[in-house]
A and B are shown apart, each in its own frame.
Chain A
Amino acid sequence: MSSAPALVEAHNLTRVFDVSKPWLNRLLEGERRRLLAAVTGVSFTIGKRETLALVGESGSGKSTVARMIVGLLPPTGGKVAIDGIDIWAPASAAQRQRLRRRLQMIFQDPYASLNPRWRVDRIIADPIRAFRLAADRAEIEARVGELLRLVGLDPADGRKYPHEFSGGQRQRICIARALSSNPEFIVCDEPTSALDVSVQAQILNLMRDLQDRLGLSYFFISHNLAVVKHMAARIGVMYLGRIVELAPTAELFAAPRHPYSRMLLDAVPDLAMTGRRRKPIEGEIPNPIDPPAGCPFHPRCPSAFDRCRAETPQLLPAGSAMTACHAVAAHKI
């Protein structure tokens, strides 16, 4: 675990969406409100120069967490603090703007991440202008050129439009934009999922280089365990809106504790062709509007017992990791 002071602290984050039908329909059809608990009780810290990853399948809530952390979606409960300041309750608008400058985000879809009608230099300069980080146009231009070079592109590319670039190049432009405000912390929401494998390798290497060189912290969201193993120091596994395991990378892969983590690891295809036998996996992710009682994983869990059906497990330490599992807590597995 990192000994550096925590840059980012998420405490008991919760987000509930109201997915009920419009009130008139509810009135006429006699239906109740329907609430979707996308994220429940998520807590973690990220230190300076550290990468924390959140892994999960669709419906796990990891993207929702990312949006709450970065300030795009207000949480219904809990708080997010950057350097001790609650980003959802800043003292003033100026403080909020100062906080904004320190965080940035890289998105999944390189095609929707860039405004197709703006030139690349304008896109990258947007944060510089918004935070008034440069004195005049010449300075902005110089900075944009420098950023383009930093991500492996030509400064002359600034005059082009996004559609003239490939997926990997666009993602580099997104990274350049994210870096333009000199942030300390970048949230990466599946940044390479839409890219080819060889391009993914380029982008991941680039991100690591930038982290080393600029001292960045990353919050890395992905569904791909292999990618996450490569990028993160610590990994959180999410299932149906909760963190079920939070462990240092090496430990998670060597000895996963939570049954879901084991299942996920088992499901990763075996490229090394070790001939590993895979246990067939049962069931599918339940509907988040109507989650199972107690531990949300119990219908699919091979180690479930009565306590699992009654009580939702808390995230408790188990070795150097943390797990939310009654079976682990009771030393059954």
Chain B
Amino acid sequence: MTQPVLSVRDLVVGFPTRRGVLTAVDGVSFDIAAGEVLGVVGESGAGKSLTGAAVIGLLEPPGQILGGSVHLEGKRIDTLEPEAMRRIRGRRIGMVFQDPLTSLNPLYRIGEQIVETIRTHAKVSSATASERAIDLLEEVGIKGARSRIHAYPHEFSGGMRQRVVLALALCAEPQLLIADEPTTALDVSIQAQIIALLKRLCRQRRTAVMLITHDMGVIAETADRVAVMYAGRIAEIGPIGDVLRQPRHPYTQGLMGAIPAVAGATATRLTQIPGSMPRLNAIPAGCAFNPRCPRAFDRCRRLRPEPITAGRTEAACWLLAHDAGVAS
């Protein structure tokens, strides 16, 4: 079994405050293989963005990694010195953020920004870097790249800018790409274009992708596997088809039922999950989802569930153990 590009084990991210530690990510584990897209989906407050930030080492203080490990191609990166981490960022891990407007420096031409990134991570001449930049821009679908390379970010539309951001993230040929809500700020038709582009580029380069989003639709189109996060924990993780068609965890089931469907008949009512995601300082004991779960029983309120395998997916739910006949 080839080694996964990214390996996260029992990651814990928290915020020490004077009233105690607020745990935002509590024991998250997953792997991403080369060329694979892992979708990390969850609602606001689930901790998915923080997980991405922790992997790339960009946690804003006072947030910090309080436990667990992050391995990139077998080597541990969460304990690296800031200087060493800086060298990895960009060269081996690329990142795409939500807002293309603020991801690009408005005062520099996009050509300059790409060339700067290329030359930071590879010893090439300015001319070579420029040529690479032009090739890259053409690859991401910007027509007339040779002249557009001298344009400023504000001269591009939102979709075009996000393409440039993608080019920037991939220009140093990283092994891992973290995309945090890359299409949320874009129109639906542009979203489709960007998603298709992302898939194509990463497949060609065998880049592992961690795609963070709240949009199940984007995940359905892009991801190979999906991890559903709730209250800082992974509720369910598995191949995309299996999770979407046969969700095991009650939260995933509720989520799928709550999304209005385009295909099929109009449902009279959307399934709704009562209540809302718990605040960081009020995460329930046992399973974090138990107060809202219609099938919670005694064990759920006492013990935090372990990930239990069911088919090709793993879900952190006692019901699966229960179903398997294990005494509660």
A259-280 residues with Cβ-Cβ distance < 8 A to B are 263-274, 278, 280
| A197 with B189: CB separation less than 8 A | no
| B260 with A226: CB separation less than 8 A | yes
For A249, give its contact among B214, B221, B266, B277 (CB under 8 Å): B266
Q: Closest chain B residue to A227 by CB distance?
A: B260
Residues in chain B near residue A278, CB distance under 8 A? 192, 196
**What is the size category of the interface that chain B forms with chain A?**
35 or more
Residues in chain B near residue A230, CB distance under 8 A? 260, 266-267, 270
Complex CA distance for A201 and B195, rounded to whole angstroms: 25
Interface status of B328 (Cβ within 8 A of chain A): no
Residues in chain A near residue B316, CB distance under 8 A? none
| B259 with A226: CB separation less than 8 A | yes
| A271 with B216: CB separation less than 8 A | yes
Residues in chain A near residue B195, CB distance under 8 A? 269
Interface status of A204 (Cβ within 8 A of chain B): yes
**Quick one: which of B189, B190, B196, B266 has the most chain A CB within 10 A?**
B189
| B262 with A253: CB separation less than 8 A | yes
Residues in chain A near residue B170, CB distance under 8 A? none
B171-218 residues with Cβ-Cβ distance < 8 A to A are 187-193, 195-196, 214-218
Contact with A along B201-242 (1 / 0, CB 8 A): 000000000000011111011000000000000000000110
Pair count A-B, CB < 8 A: 121
Complex CA distance for A284 and B259, rounded to whole angstroms: 27
| B259 with A281: CB separation less than 8 A | no
Interface status of A225 (Cβ within 8 A of chain B): yes
Complex CA distance for A25 and B276, rounded to whole angstroms: 53
Q: Closest chain B residue to A192 by CB distance?
A: B260
Residues of A in contact (CB 8 Å), total: 43
| B258 with A201: CB separation less than 8 A | yes
Interface status of A205 (Cβ within 8 A of chain B): yes
Complex CA distance for A224 and B266, rounded to whole angstroms: 15
Interface status of B245 (Cβ within 8 A of chain A): yes
Residues in chain B near residue A270, CB distance under 8 A? 217, 220-221, 263
| B217 with A198: CB separation less than 8 A | no
Complex CA distance for A11 and B189, rounded to whole angstroms: 29
B133-174 residues with Cβ-Cβ distance < 8 A to A are 157, 159-160
Q: Closest chain B residue to A223 by CB distance?
A: B188
Interface status of B269 (Cβ within 8 A of chain A): yes
| A268 with B188: CB separation less than 8 A | yes
| B261 with A208: CB separation less than 8 A | no
Complex CA distance for A160 and B192, rounded to whole angstroms: 42
CB distance from A209 to the nearest CB of B (A): 9
| B262 with A197: CB separation less than 8 A | no
Q: Closest chain A residue to B42 by CB distance?
A: A196
Interface status of B293 (Cβ within 8 A of chain A): no
Interface status of B273 (Cβ within 8 A of chain A): yes
Complex CA distance for A264 and B44, rounded to whole angstroms: 27
| A196 with B267: CB separation less than 8 A | no
Interface status of A168 (Cβ within 8 A of chain B): yes
Complex CA distance for A227 and B267, rounded to whole angstroms: 11
Q: Closest chain B residue to A225 by CB distance?
A: B262
Q: Closest chain A residue to B190 by CB distance?
A: A284
CB distance from B130 to the nearest CB of A (A): 26
Complex CA distance for A79 and B186, rounded to whole angstroms: 32
Q: Closest chain B residue to A269 by CB distance?
A: B217
Residues in chain B near residue A169, CB distance under 8 A? 276
| B220 with A273: CB separation less than 8 A | yes
Interface status of A57 (Cβ within 8 A of chain B): yes
**Quick one: which of B241, B262, B264, B273 has the most chain A CB within 10 A?**
B262
Interface status of A327 (Cβ within 8 A of chain B): no
| B187 with A58: CB separation less than 8 A | yes
Residues in chain B near residue A273, CB distance under 8 A? 220, 240-241, 244-245
Contact with B along A205-240 (1 / 0, CB 8 A): 100100000000000000111110110000000000
Complex CA distance for A47 and B264, rounded to whole angstroms: 26
| A197 with B259: CB separation less than 8 A | yes
Interface status of B27 (Cβ within 8 A of chain A): no
Complex CA distance for A278 and B189, rounded to whole angstroms: 11
List 22 A-B pairs, Cβ < 8 Å.
A57-B188, A201-B257, A201-B259, A201-B260, A201-B270, A202-B272, A205-B270, A224-B260, A225-B188, A226-B259, A226-B260, A229-B266, A264-B189, A266-B192, A268-B188, A268-B217, A269-B221, A270-B220, A272-B261, A272-B263, A272-B264, A280-B193
The 4 closest A-B CB pairs, nearest first, are A269-B217, A201-B258, A196-B43, A201-B270
Known: A196-B43, A208-B269, A224-B188. 11 other contacts (CB 8 A): A166-B276, A167-B44, A197-B258, A198-B272, A199-B276, A225-B262, A226-B260, A269-B221, A270-B217, A270-B220, A273-B240
